[in-house]
Amino acid sequence: MIVAATVSSGAAYEKAVEVIKAQVSGLGEYSVMEINLTDATNTQVHQLNGYVQVTVPMPANITVKEGKAIVVYRLEDDGTLTRCDTTVENGVITFKTNHFSTYIVAEEDVTAVTSPKTEDVSAGINLIFCMGILLAGAAAVAVKRKMA
């Protein structure tokens, strides 16, 4: 089961805000979310054996302005950011990752040069996780998983 929730307070949120402000130039609006996967024994799984595609609705607090683009960053344990391969279409954000943890959906300048590394998604498993997240609150929603 995948559980995802927006967060607006707490240690993970504070760390994400500190890191995104320090490492991303041209930063606009942003939203922090926790994405967790549990297996059949209710054990959390963070590292995956390949890449998955995650789809979430655009956070309610983000309105893409002219000259801005939406990107998704994964907050690493060492305090760095990894930019995920991200697309946005019809108010839906899709990104690829091989690890579940804290993510930041951010609006940044299209021309901004960002220092965080970009995740290599050339290899991996094509799994699609469609996730509906109530971004207006901190409610978590379980999502369906379907094999691609």
Q: Does the predicted TM-score (pTM) go above 0.85?
A: no
Q: Which domain holds residue 38?
A: 2-109
Could you tell me if residue 124 is inside a domain?
no
Using pLDDT thresholds of 50, 70 and 90, give the confidence band for residue 47: low
The owner of tokens 């760390």 is: 15
Q: What sign results for the dihedral spanned by CA atoms 29, 129, 9, 134? A: positive
Structure-model confidence comparison of residues 107 and 2, the more confident one: 107
The answer to whether position 82 is within a domain reads: yes
| DSSP summary character for residue 25 | T
Could you read off the pLDDT of 53-88 as tens digits, one per residue? Answer: 888 899 999 988 888 899 999 999 899 999 999 999
What CATH number should be reported for the domain holding residue 102? 2.60.40
d(CA 4, CA 56): 9
- The count of other CB atoms within 10 Å of the CB of residue 8 is 12
| Burial of 143: CB neighbours in 10 Å, binned 0-12, 13-18, 19+ | buried
Question: What are 1-46's pLDDT values in tens digits?
Answer: 777 788 999 999 999 999 999 998 889 999 999 988 777 787 766 6
